Amino acid sequence: MTVTIRAKTEDDHAAVVELLTRRWTSPEILIEGEMIDASRLPGFIALDEDGEIVGLVTLIQRAREWEILTLDSLNRWGGIGTLLLKAVAGAAVENGIRRLLVRTSNDNLDAFRFYQRRDFRLEKIVPGAIDEERKLKPEIPMLGEYGIPIRDEVVFARAL
């Protein structure tokens, strides 16, 4: 499959909302008690040969670091996540950013593998963070893949 990566635009909004709702239950992502509309953030889209979205990454762009809020590939193990991550890292360096950050839940073993294989390092564990977020966003499931209870937030970071 040939994949094209490009910056997301306002014209992508409806498709981005649909993808985020399908993958995350809504475009609203909760971080440290703050609800963030990921569909309104900058990011990159992966498109297949037919122009269909097959991947998306959204970013919180801060002065000293960029945080990956969502990263989704609709074709797991096909290299789309890696292409999106490369686009983020390239744009970050072009903008003078030297650090990427990403958070995940303790059950997300696939994310642990993905990010560590791409030079991210385990930086912090926040015990009970997901339990607290669930009080504000009850649709967060209790169990993740592999039957692991979802409780804690895990932070990975990468120097660029």
What local confidence, expressed as pLDDT, does residue 147 receive?
Answer: 95
- Tokens for 3, please give them: 């994949």
CA angle (115, 118, 121) in 5-degree steps? 60
State the Cα–Cα distance between residues 154 and 83, nearest whole angstrom: 23
Q: What are φ and ψ of residue 40, in 5° steps?
A: -100, 0
- Report how far residue 131's alpha carbon sits from residue 151's, in angstroms, rounded to the nearest whole number: 5
pLDDT at 33: 83
**Structural tokens at position 13:** 């909004």
Structure tokens at 9: 């635009």
Helices (runs of H) and strands (runs of E) counted in the chain: 4, 9
Please identify every stretch of the chain with a pLDDT value under 50, giving residue numbers as ranges.
Answer: none
| Cα separation, 130 vs 133, whole angstroms | 5
Please name the fold of domain 4-159.
Aminopeptidase (3.40.630)
The answer to whether 77 touches 117, Cβ cutoff 8 Å, is: no
For residue 148, the model assigns a pLDDT of: 97
Q: Whose CA is closest to 72, among 58, 61, 59?
A: 58
